[in-house]
Structure 1
Amino acid sequence: MEKTITYFDDVGKANTEKVMKLSAKRAAELGIKYIVLASTSGETALAAAEAFKDQDVKIIAITHQYGLKEPGKWEVDEDKLAKLNELGVVMTTQSHMFSGVERAIQKRIGGASRADVISDTLRAVFGKGFKVALECVMMAADSGHIPVSLDTEIIAIGGTRQGADVSVVVRPAHSFDFFGMQIREIIAMPRAKEEPK
Protein backbone atom coordinates (compact mmCIF):
# COMPACT_ATOMS: atom_id res chain seq x y z
CA MET A 1 0.00 0.00 0.00
CA GLU A 2 1.21 3.47 -0.80
CA LYS A 3 -0.25 6.49 1.00
CA THR A 4 0.59 10.15 1.20
CA ILE A 5 1.40 11.89 4.48
CA THR A 6 0.66 15.60 4.71
CA TYR A 7 3.33 17.64 6.49
CA PHE A 8 2.70 21.13 7.82
CA ASP A 9 5.42 23.79 7.99
CA ASP A 10 4.32 24.92 11.44
CA VAL A 11 2.33 23.68 14.43
CA GLY A 12 -1.05 24.71 15.71
CA LYS A 13 -4.52 25.95 14.94
CA ALA A 14 -3.92 27.01 11.32
CA ASN A 15 -3.79 23.31 10.37
CA THR A 16 -7.13 22.33 11.91
CA GLU A 17 -9.34 22.50 8.81
CA LYS A 18 -6.88 20.52 6.68
CA VAL A 19 -6.40 17.90 9.41
CA MET A 20 -10.16 17.40 9.64
CA LYS A 21 -10.60 17.07 5.85
CA LEU A 22 -7.75 14.57 5.56
CA SER A 23 -9.01 12.61 8.56
CA ALA A 24 -12.56 12.42 7.21
CA LYS A 25 -11.27 11.22 3.85
CA ARG A 26 -9.12 8.49 5.40
CA ALA A 27 -11.87 7.40 7.79
CA ALA A 28 -14.19 6.91 4.81
CA GLU A 29 -11.53 4.94 2.91
CA LEU A 30 -10.83 2.61 5.84
CA GLY A 31 -14.37 2.39 7.21
CA ILE A 32 -13.24 3.78 10.56
CA LYS A 33 -16.11 4.44 12.96
CA TYR A 34 -14.38 6.18 15.90
CA ILE A 35 -12.63 9.55 15.92
CA VAL A 36 -10.83 10.61 19.10
CA LEU A 37 -9.54 14.15 19.42
CA ALA A 38 -8.29 16.73 21.87
CA SER A 39 -10.50 19.77 22.41
CA THR A 40 -10.03 22.09 25.38
CA SER A 41 -12.90 24.53 24.80
CA GLY A 42 -14.95 22.50 22.31
CA GLU A 43 -13.87 24.48 19.24
CA THR A 44 -11.80 21.69 17.69
CA ALA A 45 -14.62 19.23 18.39
CA LEU A 46 -17.02 21.49 16.48
CA ALA A 47 -14.59 21.52 13.54
CA ALA A 48 -14.58 17.71 13.62
CA ALA A 49 -18.38 17.55 13.76
CA GLU A 50 -18.52 19.68 10.62
CA ALA A 51 -15.87 17.65 8.77
CA PHE A 52 -17.47 14.28 9.61
CA LYS A 53 -21.12 15.35 9.35
CA ASP A 54 -21.84 13.08 6.37
CA GLN A 55 -20.19 10.00 7.90
CA ASP A 56 -21.46 7.42 10.36
CA VAL A 57 -18.77 7.93 12.99
CA LYS A 58 -18.67 8.50 16.73
CA ILE A 59 -16.61 11.54 17.70
CA ILE A 60 -15.09 11.53 21.16
CA ALA A 61 -13.59 14.85 22.25
CA ILE A 62 -11.21 14.74 25.20
CA THR A 63 -10.74 17.89 27.23
CA HIS A 64 -8.46 18.84 30.10
CA GLN A 65 -9.30 17.26 33.42
CA TYR A 66 -11.34 19.17 35.96
CA GLY A 67 -9.20 21.44 38.10
CA LEU A 68 -6.29 21.82 35.68
CA LYS A 69 -6.62 25.62 35.56
CA GLU A 70 -8.96 26.22 38.51
CA PRO A 71 -9.95 23.77 41.26
CA GLY A 72 -13.25 22.04 40.54
CA LYS A 73 -13.73 23.63 37.10
CA TRP A 74 -13.20 22.50 33.53
CA GLU A 75 -12.37 24.64 30.52
CA VAL A 76 -15.17 23.63 28.17
CA ASP A 77 -17.30 26.49 26.88
CA GLU A 78 -20.88 25.68 27.95
CA ASP A 79 -22.44 27.05 24.73
CA LYS A 80 -20.12 24.89 22.64
CA LEU A 81 -20.86 21.92 24.87
CA ALA A 82 -24.60 22.33 24.27
CA LYS A 83 -24.01 22.46 20.50
CA LEU A 84 -21.75 19.38 20.64
CA ASN A 85 -24.42 17.49 22.58
CA GLU A 86 -26.95 18.37 19.86
CA LEU A 87 -24.54 17.04 17.23
CA GLY A 88 -23.96 13.78 19.11
CA VAL A 89 -20.32 14.49 19.92
CA VAL A 90 -19.18 12.96 23.20
CA MET A 91 -17.16 15.38 25.35
CA THR A 92 -15.29 13.66 28.16
CA THR A 93 -12.46 14.21 30.57
CA GLN A 94 -10.25 12.32 32.97
CA SER A 95 -6.76 12.56 34.40
CA HIS A 96 -4.07 12.88 31.77
CA MET A 97 -2.44 9.54 31.13
CA PHE A 98 1.10 10.86 31.28
CA SER A 99 0.69 12.82 34.51
CA GLY A 100 -2.05 12.26 37.11
CA VAL A 101 -0.68 11.12 40.47
CA GLU A 102 2.86 11.15 39.08
CA ARG A 103 2.62 14.94 38.71
CA ALA A 104 1.74 15.31 42.41
CA ILE A 105 4.73 13.19 43.42
CA GLN A 106 7.01 15.17 41.12
CA LYS A 107 5.80 18.49 42.58
CA ARG A 108 6.28 17.30 46.14
CA ILE A 109 9.55 15.36 46.05
CA GLY A 110 11.01 16.12 42.63
CA GLY A 111 12.47 13.82 40.05
CA ALA A 112 10.92 12.44 36.90
CA SER A 113 8.60 9.49 36.47
CA ARG A 114 8.68 6.85 33.77
CA ALA A 115 5.43 8.36 32.43
CA ASP A 116 7.26 11.70 32.12
CA VAL A 117 9.98 9.98 30.10
CA ILE A 118 7.42 8.53 27.68
CA SER A 119 5.58 11.86 27.42
CA ASP A 120 8.71 13.93 26.91
CA THR A 121 10.09 11.46 24.37
CA LEU A 122 6.91 11.56 22.27
CA ARG A 123 6.80 15.36 22.53
CA ALA A 124 10.48 15.80 21.58
CA VAL A 125 10.66 13.24 18.78
CA PHE A 126 7.22 13.52 17.17
CA GLY A 127 5.81 16.77 18.62
CA LYS A 128 3.25 17.78 21.20
CA GLY A 129 0.22 17.11 18.99
CA PHE A 130 1.37 13.54 18.46
CA LYS A 131 1.76 12.98 22.20
CA VAL A 132 -1.65 14.52 22.83
CA ALA A 133 -3.33 12.30 20.22
CA LEU A 134 -1.98 9.11 21.80
CA GLU A 135 -2.84 10.29 25.31
CA CYS A 136 -6.42 10.96 24.19
CA VAL A 137 -6.68 7.44 22.76
CA MET A 138 -5.92 5.93 26.16
CA MET A 139 -8.28 8.35 27.91
CA ALA A 140 -11.10 7.41 25.51
CA ALA A 141 -10.34 3.70 25.93
CA ASP A 142 -10.21 3.90 29.72
CA SER A 143 -13.52 5.82 29.73
CA GLY A 144 -15.19 3.09 27.66
CA HIS A 145 -15.92 5.34 24.68
CA ILE A 146 -14.07 3.26 22.07
CA PRO A 147 -13.69 -0.46 21.47
CA VAL A 148 -10.28 -1.94 22.20
CA SER A 149 -9.25 -5.09 20.34
CA LEU A 150 -6.48 -6.34 18.10
CA ASP A 151 -8.50 -5.56 14.97
CA THR A 152 -9.87 -2.13 15.98
CA GLU A 153 -8.55 0.97 14.26
CA ILE A 154 -9.52 4.54 15.09
CA ILE A 155 -8.35 7.96 14.03
CA ALA A 156 -6.71 10.07 16.72
CA ILE A 157 -6.28 13.82 16.32
CA GLY A 158 -4.11 16.06 18.50
CA GLY A 159 -2.72 19.53 18.45
CA THR A 160 -0.02 21.85 19.66
CA ARG A 161 -1.31 24.74 21.81
CA GLN A 162 -4.69 25.12 20.04
CA GLY A 163 -6.50 23.39 17.22
CA ALA A 164 -5.32 20.24 15.47
CA ASP A 165 -2.06 19.52 13.65
CA VAL A 166 -1.70 15.72 13.90
CA SER A 167 -3.86 12.86 12.67
CA VAL A 168 -2.98 9.18 12.95
CA VAL A 169 -4.64 5.81 12.47
CA VAL A 170 -4.18 3.90 15.70
CA ARG A 171 -4.91 0.49 17.14
CA PRO A 172 -6.08 1.65 20.57
CA ALA A 173 -5.11 0.32 23.98
CA HIS A 174 -5.98 0.99 27.58
CA SER A 175 -3.45 2.93 29.65
CA PHE A 176 -2.34 -0.23 31.51
CA ASP A 177 -1.46 -1.72 28.10
CA PHE A 178 0.27 1.36 26.64
CA PHE A 179 2.74 -0.75 24.66
CA GLY A 180 -0.15 -2.58 23.00
CA MET A 181 -1.12 0.63 21.19
CA GLN A 182 0.06 0.79 17.57
CA ILE A 183 0.32 3.68 15.17
CA ARG A 184 -0.81 2.18 11.88
CA GLU A 185 -0.64 5.31 9.70
CA ILE A 186 0.32 8.94 9.94
CA ILE A 187 -2.22 11.03 8.04
CA ALA A 188 -0.78 14.45 8.86
CA MET A 189 1.72 16.07 11.19
CA PRO A 190 3.86 19.21 11.41
CA ARG A 191 7.50 19.09 10.37
CA ALA A 192 8.25 21.78 12.94
CA LYS A 193 8.17 20.97 16.63
CA GLU A 194 7.53 23.27 19.56
CA GLU A 195 10.90 23.87 21.18
CA PRO A 196 11.24 22.60 24.76
CA LYS A 197 11.17 25.20 27.50
Structure 2
Amino acid sequence: MEKSITYLDNVGPENSENVLKLAAKRAEELGIEYVVLASTSGETALKAAEAFKGQNVKLIAITHQYGLKEGGKWEVDEDKLEKLKEMGVIMTTQSHMFSGVERAISKRIGGASRADVISDTLRTMFGKGFKVAIECTMMAADSGHIPVSKETEIIAIGGTRWGADVAAVVRPAHSFDFFNIQIREIIAMPRAKEEQ
Protein backbone atom coordinates (compact mmCIF):
# COMPACT_ATOMS: atom_id res chain seq x y z
CA MET A 1 0.00 0.00 0.00
CA GLU A 2 1.23 3.48 -0.76
CA LYS A 3 -0.06 6.34 1.38
CA SER A 4 1.16 9.89 1.77
CA ILE A 5 1.96 11.60 5.07
CA THR A 6 1.28 15.30 5.54
CA TYR A 7 4.21 17.04 7.19
CA LEU A 8 3.40 20.34 8.87
CA ASP A 9 5.81 23.30 8.95
CA ASN A 10 5.14 24.13 12.61
CA VAL A 11 3.63 22.70 15.75
CA GLY A 12 0.49 24.10 17.30
CA PRO A 13 -3.21 24.84 16.98
CA GLU A 14 -3.02 26.53 13.58
CA ASN A 15 -2.80 22.98 12.18
CA SER A 16 -6.00 21.71 13.84
CA GLU A 17 -8.50 22.09 11.02
CA ASN A 18 -6.18 20.55 8.40
CA VAL A 19 -5.16 17.64 10.66
CA LEU A 20 -8.77 16.91 11.62
CA LYS A 21 -9.85 17.00 7.97
CA LEU A 22 -7.06 14.58 7.00
CA ALA A 23 -7.94 12.28 9.91
CA ALA A 24 -11.64 12.28 8.96
CA LYS A 25 -10.76 11.39 5.37
CA ARG A 26 -8.53 8.49 6.45
CA ALA A 27 -11.10 7.21 8.96
CA GLU A 28 -13.67 7.11 6.17
CA GLU A 29 -11.26 5.33 3.78
CA LEU A 30 -10.44 2.64 6.37
CA GLY A 31 -13.91 2.36 7.91
CA ILE A 32 -12.53 3.30 11.33
CA GLU A 33 -15.24 3.71 13.95
CA TYR A 34 -13.31 5.21 16.90
CA VAL A 35 -11.37 8.46 17.09
CA VAL A 36 -9.46 9.42 20.23
CA LEU A 37 -8.21 12.97 20.61
CA ALA A 38 -6.71 15.27 23.21
CA SER A 39 -8.81 18.29 24.20
CA THR A 40 -8.07 20.22 27.38
CA SER A 41 -10.97 22.70 27.36
CA GLY A 42 -13.20 21.03 24.78
CA GLU A 43 -12.28 23.39 21.92
CA THR A 44 -10.41 20.81 19.82
CA ALA A 45 -13.19 18.29 20.48
CA LEU A 46 -15.75 20.74 19.07
CA LYS A 47 -13.62 21.18 15.94
CA ALA A 48 -13.32 17.40 15.62
CA ALA A 49 -17.10 16.97 15.94
CA GLU A 50 -17.49 19.30 12.96
CA ALA A 51 -14.73 17.60 10.94
CA PHE A 52 -16.22 14.11 11.48
CA LYS A 53 -19.86 15.23 11.09
CA GLY A 54 -21.91 12.71 9.15
CA GLN A 55 -19.40 9.89 9.61
CA ASN A 56 -20.13 6.76 11.59
CA VAL A 57 -17.44 7.39 14.21
CA LYS A 58 -17.45 7.60 17.97
CA LEU A 59 -15.38 10.57 19.18
CA ILE A 60 -13.65 10.21 22.53
CA ALA A 61 -12.01 13.41 23.79
CA ILE A 62 -9.42 12.96 26.54
CA THR A 63 -8.69 15.90 28.80
CA HIS A 64 -6.25 16.62 31.60
CA GLN A 65 -6.92 14.82 34.84
CA TYR A 66 -8.60 16.62 37.69
CA GLY A 67 -6.19 18.72 39.74
CA LEU A 68 -3.44 18.98 37.13
CA LYS A 69 -3.44 22.80 37.08
CA GLU A 70 -5.37 23.49 40.30
CA GLY A 71 -6.22 21.06 43.09
CA GLY A 72 -9.62 19.37 42.62
CA LYS A 73 -10.47 21.31 39.44
CA TRP A 74 -11.14 20.11 35.90
CA GLU A 75 -10.09 22.34 33.01
CA VAL A 76 -13.05 21.55 30.76
CA ASP A 77 -15.26 24.50 29.88
CA GLU A 78 -18.76 23.61 31.13
CA ASP A 79 -20.55 25.28 28.19
CA LYS A 80 -18.41 23.34 25.73
CA LEU A 81 -19.01 20.15 27.69
CA GLU A 82 -22.78 20.54 27.32
CA LYS A 83 -22.47 21.17 23.58
CA LEU A 84 -20.18 18.15 23.18
CA LYS A 85 -22.66 15.93 25.01
CA GLU A 86 -25.40 17.12 22.64
CA MET A 87 -23.15 16.23 19.69
CA GLY A 88 -22.51 12.73 21.08
CA VAL A 89 -18.84 13.32 21.92
CA ILE A 90 -17.54 11.52 25.01
CA MET A 91 -15.32 13.75 27.16
CA THR A 92 -13.34 11.77 29.71
CA THR A 93 -10.24 11.81 31.87
CA GLN A 94 -8.10 9.73 34.17
CA SER A 95 -4.53 9.81 35.42
CA HIS A 96 -2.00 10.40 32.68
CA MET A 97 -0.26 7.23 31.61
CA PHE A 98 3.24 8.67 31.45
CA SER A 99 3.18 10.53 34.76
CA GLY A 100 0.88 9.85 37.69
CA VAL A 101 2.43 8.14 40.70
CA GLU A 102 5.80 7.56 39.01
CA ARG A 103 6.25 11.30 38.43
CA ALA A 104 5.47 11.94 42.10
CA ILE A 105 8.17 9.47 43.12
CA SER A 106 10.71 11.07 40.73
CA LYS A 107 9.93 14.52 42.16
CA ARG A 108 10.26 13.33 45.74
CA ILE A 109 13.33 11.11 45.63
CA GLY A 110 14.91 12.03 42.30
CA GLY A 111 15.87 10.06 39.25
CA ALA A 112 13.73 9.21 36.28
CA SER A 113 11.10 6.51 36.11
CA ARG A 114 10.76 4.10 33.23
CA ALA A 115 7.51 5.87 32.26
CA ASP A 116 9.46 9.15 32.10
CA VAL A 117 11.91 7.52 29.70
CA ILE A 118 9.12 6.32 27.40
CA SER A 119 7.43 9.72 27.53
CA ASP A 120 10.63 11.66 26.85
CA THR A 121 11.61 9.30 24.03
CA LEU A 122 8.28 9.76 22.24
CA ARG A 123 8.33 13.52 22.88
CA THR A 124 11.88 14.13 21.65
CA MET A 125 11.89 11.75 18.69
CA PHE A 126 8.36 12.22 17.36
CA GLY A 127 7.12 15.37 19.13
CA LYS A 128 4.83 16.18 22.01
CA GLY A 129 1.66 15.79 19.96
CA PHE A 130 2.67 12.24 19.08
CA LYS A 131 3.32 11.38 22.73
CA VAL A 132 -0.07 12.86 23.63
CA ALA A 133 -1.86 10.81 20.95
CA ILE A 134 -0.37 7.56 22.29
CA GLU A 135 -1.09 8.50 25.90
CA CYS A 136 -4.71 9.37 25.07
CA THR A 137 -5.11 6.05 23.26
CA MET A 138 -4.18 4.16 26.44
CA MET A 139 -6.41 6.41 28.56
CA ALA A 140 -9.38 5.72 26.25
CA ALA A 141 -8.64 1.99 26.31
CA ASP A 142 -8.29 1.89 30.10
CA SER A 143 -11.56 3.85 30.44
CA GLY A 144 -13.39 1.27 28.31
CA HIS A 145 -14.30 3.80 25.61
CA ILE A 146 -12.62 1.94 22.74
CA PRO A 147 -12.35 -1.75 21.94
CA VAL A 148 -8.94 -3.36 22.28
CA SER A 149 -8.06 -6.31 20.08
CA LYS A 150 -5.54 -7.32 17.44
CA GLU A 151 -8.08 -6.34 14.77
CA THR A 152 -8.99 -2.91 16.17
CA GLU A 153 -7.65 0.24 14.56
CA ILE A 154 -8.46 3.75 15.72
CA ILE A 155 -7.43 7.25 14.75
CA ALA A 156 -5.38 8.93 17.51
CA ILE A 157 -5.01 12.71 17.46
CA GLY A 158 -2.77 14.83 19.68
CA GLY A 159 -1.28 18.28 19.80
CA THR A 160 1.67 20.28 21.00
CA ARG A 161 0.34 22.36 23.90
CA TRP A 162 -3.05 23.17 22.26
CA GLY A 163 -4.96 22.09 19.18
CA ALA A 164 -4.15 19.13 16.95
CA ASP A 165 -0.94 18.65 14.98
CA VAL A 166 -0.59 14.84 14.91
CA ALA A 167 -2.90 12.14 13.58
CA ALA A 168 -2.12 8.43 13.31
CA VAL A 169 -3.80 5.10 12.75
CA VAL A 170 -3.13 3.06 15.87
CA ARG A 171 -3.83 -0.43 17.11
CA PRO A 172 -4.67 0.34 20.75
CA ALA A 173 -3.64 -1.44 23.92
CA HIS A 174 -4.28 -1.01 27.61
CA SER A 175 -1.58 0.67 29.68
CA PHE A 176 -0.56 -2.61 31.34
CA ASP A 177 0.00 -4.00 27.84
CA PHE A 178 1.82 -0.92 26.46
CA PHE A 179 4.22 -2.80 24.19
CA ASN A 180 1.32 -4.16 22.12
CA ILE A 181 0.38 -0.69 20.82
CA GLN A 182 1.16 -0.39 17.12
CA ILE A 183 1.48 2.79 15.08
CA ARG A 184 0.01 1.53 11.81
CA GLU A 185 0.09 4.80 9.84
CA ILE A 186 1.09 8.40 10.37
CA ILE A 187 -1.49 10.68 8.76
CA ALA A 188 0.05 14.03 9.72
CA MET A 189 2.77 15.37 11.99
CA PRO A 190 5.03 18.42 12.30
CA ARG A 191 8.48 18.15 10.69
CA ALA A 192 10.07 20.38 13.30
CA LYS A 193 9.38 19.57 16.93
CA GLU A 194 9.09 21.83 19.94
CA GLU A 195 12.56 22.29 21.36
CA GLN A 196 13.14 20.52 24.68
1:95 is paired with a residue whose SS is: coil
The one-letter code sitting in structure 1 at the alignment partner of 2:150 is L
1:95 is matched with 95
- Where in structure 2 are the equivalents of 1:11-160 lying within 5 Å? 11-160=11-160
What is the letter of the counterpart of residue 47 of structure 2? A
Partner of 2:161: 161
CA distance in 2, matches of 1:180, 1:106: 26
Question: TM-score, normalised on structure 1?
Answer: 0.99
Identical residues among aligned pairs (%)? 83
SS in 2 for 1:7: strand
Instruction: In structure 1, list runs of 5 or more residues that go unmatched.
Output: none
**Structure 1 residue 103, shift from structure 2 partner:** 1.1
Q: Deviations over 1:62-98 (max 9, x none)?
A: 0000000111101000000000000000000000000
**What CA distance in whole angstroms lies between the structure 2 residues aligned with 1:121 and 1:53?**
35
Look up the SS of the partner of 1:49 in the other structure. helix
Whole-angstrom CA distance in 2 between matches of 1:182 and 1:82? 33
Residue 107 of structure 1: how far off its partner (Å) = 1.3
Question: Which string of whole-angstrom CA distances, capped at 9 and with x for unpartnered residues, describes residues 10-47 of structure 1?
Answer: 00100000001000000000000000000000000000
Q: Distance in 1 between matches of 2:107 and 2:74?
A: 21
Residue type matched to 1:28 in 2?
E
Structure 2: how far apart are the matches of 1:148 and 1:81?
26
Residue type at the aligned position of 2:181: M
Rounded to whole Å, the distance in 1 between the matches of 2:110 and 2:63 is 27
1:106, CA displacement in angstroms? 1.0
Residue 76 of structure 1 aligns with an amino acid whose one-letter code is V
Deviant stretches of 4+, over 3 Å: none
Task: Give the AA of the match of 1:160.
Answer: T
1:177 aligned residue = 177
> Partners of 1:7 and 1:73 in 2: how far apart?
36
Cα separation, 1, equivalents of 2:2 and 2:108:
49
- Name the CA distance, whole Å, in 2 between partners of 1:81 and 1:172: 25
Distance 1:52 1:127 in 2: 25
Q: Distance in 2 between matches of 1:130 and 1:36?
A: 12
The 3-state SS of whatever aligns with 1:185 is strand
TM-score (norm 2): 0.99
Rounded to whole Å, the distance in 1 between the matches of 2:6 and 2:103 is: 34
SS at match of 1:121: helix
Instruction: For residue 159 of structure 1, report the CA deviation from its aligned partner.
Output: 0.1
